[in-house]
Amino acid sequence: MKSNHNIKKVTNKVLISSAIAGILGGAAVTIIPDQSGAVQNVQAKKKAKSKKSAKKQVTNQSTENVNKKINISKYSKENDCVLKFDPSTKTLHISEGVNSNKLGNTPIYDVVYNAKKHISKKNMFKPSDIEHISIDSNIAFPRDSSSLFAKLYNLQDITGLDKVDTGKAEALNNMFSKDRKLTQLDLSSWDTSSFEWYGKKEMFSGDTSLKEINVSGWEVKLSDDIFDGLDTTKVKIIGFKSDDED
């Protein structure tokens, strides 16, 4: 470092001496100052600007990914409905398809994992990312609707359950089981005419946050096994009529 400093001092002295000699000799002399520092500053500014631009581009791409709905419709067996997840609201939207409104019989939990095999990791989500389900138009449940909304551990609510046609559904076993953050379910609008007596076991098993279930209007009597795995002392059950009642 000292050697470089001495060289710079000698260089400056030579330039000054040359300038004085030129002036005394009547020659026009142009002194070119050392601009290495200025060049370095310009380069540093360009690099900083380039990094800022790259960072902004990455941020924009991340924002686009967050705002883009992820379509997982084709990963549900025999499904005609549209299933799209909105990462910005943590909501799975379900709506009728172009050709029919029949929902597939693959549980949503499995649909997500089927999709993960085909969609890039940066554009995909986990079942635990689903906090809300919104049924946006009239849809029909399949004959076997077992575990359809099960194991969605962070699911808090399902809106639009009154838009569901259950007229052909027979099995609903474990439909909402292990939805640990689900707080309320209003199933009073469901058509129960096709429900099999054995097809409603443990529908709410493991739903530790559930506070209210409305099954009023159900035309079938409900056996106690529908509530197996649920602490019914902590849940308000509206419209429940057991097999033991007339």
pLDDT tens digits along 203-228: 999 999 999 999 998 876 666 788 99
Q: Is residue 3 part of a domain?
A: no
Q: Please report the pLDDT score of residue 87 as a whole number.
A: 97
Which pLDDT score, from 0 to 100, does residue 35 have?
A: 56
What is the model's pLDDT at position 151? 98
Mean pLDDT of 94-101: 96
33-46 pLDDT, tens digit each = 555 555 566 565 66
| Cα 169 to Cα 187: distance, rounded to the nearest angstrom | 14
Mean pLDDT of 187-215: 92
Q: What pLDDT shows up at residue 224?
A: 72
Mean pLDDT over 87-105 rounds to: 97
Q: Is residue 14 part of a domain?
A: no
Q: Does residue 100 sit within a domain?
A: yes
Q: Is residue 36 classed exposed, middle or buried when 0-12, 13-18 and 19+ CB atoms within 10 A define those classes?
A: exposed
Q: Residue 31 domain-assigned?
A: no
pLDDT for the residue numbered 58: 47
**pLDDT for the residue numbered 149:** 99
User: Are 179 and 173 in contact, with CB atoms under 8 Å apart?
Assistant: no
Looking at residue 217, its pLDDT comes to 85
Give tens-digit pLDDT for 121-150: 888 999 999 999 999 999 999 999 999 999
Residue 13 has pLDDT above 70, yes or no: no
In-domain check, residue 52: no
pLDDT higher at 87 or 1:
87
Mean pLDDT, the chain, rounded, equals 82
> Which of 5-9, 60-64, 131-135, 194-198 shows the highest mean pLDDT?
131-135
Asked if residue 194 belongs to a domain, the reply is: yes
Element (H, E) at 112: helix 108-116
Domain presence at residue 2: no
Domain that holds residue 205: 72-238
Query: Which one-letter amino acid corresponds to residue 91?
Result: T
Residue pair 33/15 in contact by the 8 Å Cβ criterion: no
Percentage of the chain modeled with pLDDT above 70: 69
In the chain, how many domains are there? 1
- 37 occurs within a structural domain: no
The upper half-sphere exposure of residue 134, i.e. CA atoms within 13 Å in the direction of its Cβ, equals: 9
